[in-house]
Structure 1
Amino acid sequence: MSAKNHEAQRTARQRLAAEREKQKAAERRRRTLIVGVTVVCVLALATVIGLIAANAGKKGTTSSGPVVAPSGAQGKDSLAIPVGEDGAGSTLTVWEDFRCPACQGFERVYRPVIHDLTAAGKLRVEYHLVRLIDHNVGGTGSLRAANAAACAQDAGKFPAYHDVLFDDQPKETEDAFASNDKLIQLAAKVPGLDTPAFRSCVNDGTHDAWVDRSHQAFQDGRFSGTPTVLLGGKNIAQDASLTPEKFRQMVEKEAAGR
């Protein structure tokens, strides 16, 4: 064999050996990548399971203790907080959640006309408080805020405090209303509400079981969501053509027909 051919064979063997080493290195990298991805997936799955487990105790839980309705509550099981005169010509039934952005939106648009109509004795509003966001997102802010609103009803300050809660509503994903201190701080915006009796009612969760019963009534009614706003048995919150002026006309027409 000539020296030239021998050199060519040696070079070929070197290239083949180098290629094999390259393939082995690639295989090692592939295996490392697979192991790494698997670990990441397992950790991610563990994190998700952990979050689900953490929220499992927060979602769908009910409050223990006696059902204590707020002062002046009316209707079946005393679940409605009335605002307006008993003899008003029209009644509006509102199911709402203080953490619900859509409820805040409805309040912002229709609050002025609702206030006008109730002040004029033409409309009576029956508020039903639920904790839908607590169950859907997690947390206790809906429950805590509803209990505080019921405490405000005991003090004869429900309408004003109701409006404050919606004016100061946190983002849906921020459970700021879970803090009793925050709810008591907001009570300072309503003259005469921040009293020892109110603070005790808020901190003790006096009306927690009542809020849960109200929420159960909401579920039993198979309503589609909040706000549910019933006038003459129809959920007007689902009427895309509704305006404050049209709402006023509907109320006045219903009142005139009685």
Structure 2
Amino acid sequence: MVIILVTVTISSGKNDGIPANAATPSNLITLRPDGSVVMAQRGVNSPVLEVYEDYQCPYCQEFEQTNGETIKQWATQGMIKVIYYPMTIFQKEKWPVTHDNSHRALKASLCVTDPRKWLAYHDELYDHQPEETAEGGFALKDLVTYAKKVGIDEADFATCLNSRESSDRADAVSALARTRGVEGTPTVRLNGEDIDWSTPWAGAQQRI
């Protein structure tokens, strides 16, 4: 896999006339049938930033802490279209405990059916990420607690979380990501090309 080292910046000139407070990130969310999540102002189709992430992956948490708020700002200002691809990167055969933790978190993310609540829940998962090898990390009761905290109906959420359907769907979205050449998380792509995610993007000066 080739990683392109870039400084990610958006040209402000192409977005003149869009006020910074035109929307909030949560109001820009669209949940798609394949498990991916779009965050973008209406009519913004490029540039496209794809984020393949695993809620149990410490590097994904690092990326979120480093650049998550910057990405939200860009989307809110109509500067970029973001597509999140939550997945489980850990193979059950090699990392059974870590896989199970990741799988539970992914199921929980997929059980959020209100687009306006998805981003808040996404952030809760990273805020409460357990150690990779912690037995029982992302416990079901904790995942339900996080849902309640962001205003999601507990009963419906718990039913979804405990369903076989949600487990199968989590497996399917992870398998789909792997067909796209994702071998590790986070994988971050700008207009289809892998880019360096590890450096802070806020305040960068080079155009995309």
Relative to structure 1, is the Cα distance of residues 177 and 193 closer, same or farther in structure 2, using a 3 angstrom cutoff?
Answer: farther
Match of 2:193 in 1: 234
Residue 83, structure 1, aligned to residue 83, structure 2: no
> SS at 1:207's partner residue?
helix
Q: Map 1:206-217 to 2 at 5 A.
A: 206-217=165-176
- Give per-residue Cα distances to partners, 1:21-63, cap 9 Å, x unaligned: xxxxxxxxxxxxxxxxxxxxxxxxxxxxxxxxxxxxxxxxxxx
Q: Distance in 1 between matches of 2:136 and 2:80?
A: 32
Amino acid in structure 2 at the alignment position of 1:214: V
Q: State the Cα distance separating 1:81 from its structure 2 match.
A: 1.5
CA contact (8 A) 2:67 2:202 kept: no
Question: Aligned-pair distance for 1:180?
Answer: 1.3
What's the CA shift for 1:221? 2.4
**1:197 Cα offset (Å):** 1.5
Structure 1 equivalent of residue 125 of structure 2: 165
Q: CA RMSD in A?
A: 2.3
Structure having the higher helix fraction is 1
Superposed CA deviations along residues 71-123 of structure 1, whole A, max 9, x for unmatched, are 8315xxx2422122342232211111111000000000001101111111222
Give the alignment's TM-score, normalised by structure 1: 0.61
* Cα separation, partners in 2 of 1:199 and 1:222, compared to 1, 3 Å: same
- In the TM superposition, what is the alpha-carbon distance from 1:177 to its structure 2 partner? 3.7
- Secondary structure of the 1:115 match is helix
In structure 2, relative to structure 1, the CA distance for the partners of 1:101 and 1:223 (3 Å cut) is: same
Q: 1:217 to 1:111 in 2, by over 3 A?
A: same
Checking the alignment, whether the CA contact within 8 Å between 1:134 and 1:142 is kept in structure 2 is no
SS of the equivalent of 2:81 reads: strand
Distance 1:166 1:178, change over 3 A: closer
- Give, in angstroms, the shift of residue 165 of structure 1: 0.2
Q: Pick from 73, 90, 96: which aligns with 1:138?
A: 96
Distance 1:119 1:224, change over 3 A: same
Runs (5+) with no aligned partner, structure 1: 1-70
* Inter-partner Cα distance in structure 1 for 2:89 and 2:158: 24
Mapped contact 1:134–1:141 kept (Cα < 8 A)? no
**Residues 1:182 and 2:142 are matched in the alignment:** yes
Task: Determine the structure 2 residue equivalent to 1:100.
Answer: 57
- Asked if the contact 1:184–1:194 (Cα under 8 Å) also holds between the matched residues in 2, the reply is no
Decide whether the 8 Å contact of 2:147 with 2:154 is kept in 1.
Answer: no
In 1, distance between residues paired with 2:176 and 2:43?
A: 25
Q: Mapping of 1:4-153 within 5 angstroms? A: 72-73=31-32, 78-88=34-44, 89-135=46-92, 136-139=94-97, 140-152=100-112
Greater Rg, structure 1 or structure 2?
1
Q: Which residue of 1 aligns with 2:159?
A: 200
Provide TM-score, normalisation by structure 2. Answer: 0.74
List structure 1 segments (4+ residues) > 4 angstroms apart after TM superposition.
Answer: none
Cα distance change of structure 1 residues 138 and 187 upon mapping to structure 2, 3 Å threshold: same
Which structure 2 residue ranges, 5 or more long, are not aligned?
A: 1-29
Q: Deviations over 1:103-153 (max 9, x none)?
A: 00000000110111111122222111221235342131111111111111x
The 8 Å contact of residues 83 and 126 in structure 1, kept in 2 or not, is answered as yes
